[in-house]
Amino acid sequence: EQLMSAIREAVWNHDSKKVKALVEQAVAEQVDINTIVNDGLVSGMNALGAKFKSGEVFMPEILVSARAMGAGMAVIKPLLAQAGIKEKGIFLIGTVKEDLHDIGKNIVNAIFEGSGYKVVDLGINVPSEKFIEAIEEHKPDIVGLCALLTTTMVNMKETTAAIKNKFPGTKIIVGGAPITQNFADEIGADAYAQDAAVAVEKANMLIG
Ligand code: B1M
């Protein structure tokens, strides 16, 4: 637990080298990989996300801490493959049409990867047709839609409808600052997640 709190602290201090070294140490001490990801890296990032929302920390700190978390994830990723940990499923994600925000999406991605999902990232400004093509190609277990603008929420609605129309069984999770559970219900998404950790929990439930 002491080591996990050191990892969280190193993420807050955006000290990539220290995060990497501490994660390597935890791996050497045979700490469970899920513990390292969830109690160390993700929990560090989530705490910072909460502080960002309350105005205690600012954007540049989020960015550098996300990079520090990435340095830790880079140690973990090859181990997941080596350990032959069965892939939980394929998670296909993108920021909807006309929306260029991707910082939150990238955090969501890192956390899905760390939790054993294969992530297919379509990037930003993704039109419905591109989601449809990618679903055909990758056959994801879960599709994630991200929107940060009140003006692009309507595109999230349109994309959800297009996907459900073409592939009715597709499980869709939506998220991003302006999104709410009410909105998710209204547009027929399967789940809403307010942060990356909750998104993984809901994905696990949807495929479980
Ligand atoms: Co923009 N922007 N921005 N911006 N930007 C906001 C969103 C805004 C609230 C700022 C403001 O006015 N106060 C505002 C939206 C207002 C509104 O719609 N009501 C806004 C605006 C207006 C704009 C422009 C229109 C500005 C302009 O040009 N006039 C423009 C639009 C561009 C476009 O998209 N077409 C624009 C541009 C930009 C930048 C390019 C400068 C930059 C984006 C850089 C990038 O992403 N690469 C940017 C940024 C950085 C922001 C703020 C400051 C921060 C967003 C962010 O990254 N948050 C934002 C203000 C704010 O939020 N305080 C703002 C950190 C991130 C970790 O949180 O993305 O919420 P978030 O992700 C969280 C959760 O939401 C959740 O998990 C994440 C981790 O916990 N989550 C999911 C996210 N996606 C999920 C998906 C899931 C599940 C959970 O499942 C699939």
Q: Is the pLDDT of residue 84 over 70?
A: no
Q: Is the pLDDT of residue 113 over 90?
A: no
- For strands 89-95 and 117-121, give the pairing: parallel
The answer, yes or no, to whether any atom of ligand 1 lies below 6 A from the CB of 103, is yes
Give the other-Cβ count within 10 Å of 37's Cβ.
25
pTM, two decimal places? 0.88
Element (H, E) at 184: helix 181-187
Residue 195's pLDDT band (boundaries 50, 70, 90)? confident
Structure tokens given for 193: 């997640």
pLDDT digits (tens, 9 = 90+) for 156-180: 999 999 999 999 999 999 999 999 9
Residue 134's pLDDT band (boundaries 50, 70, 90)? very high
Ligand 1 center–CA 100 separation, angstroms: 8
Closest CA to 6 of 22, 21, 20, 17: 22
For residues 82 and 19, what is the distance between their CA atoms, to the nearest angstrom? Answer: 21
Q: Please give the pLDDT value at position 167.
A: 97
For residues 30 and 129, what is the distance between their CA atoms, to the nearest angstrom? Answer: 45
For residues 184 and 124, what is the distance between their CA atoms, to the nearest angstrom? Answer: 20
The answer, yes or no, to whether any atom of ligand 1 lies below 6 A from the CB of 150, is yes
Q: Is the pLDDT of residue 114 over 80?
A: no
Q: Please give the pLDDT value at position 106.
A: 86
Q: Please give the pLDDT value at position 3.
A: 96
Please determine, for the modelled complex, whether the ipTM score is greater than 0.90: yes
Ligand 1 center–CA 84 separation, angstroms: 36
Average pLDDT, whole number, for the chain? 93
**pLDDT, mean of residues 100-126:** 90
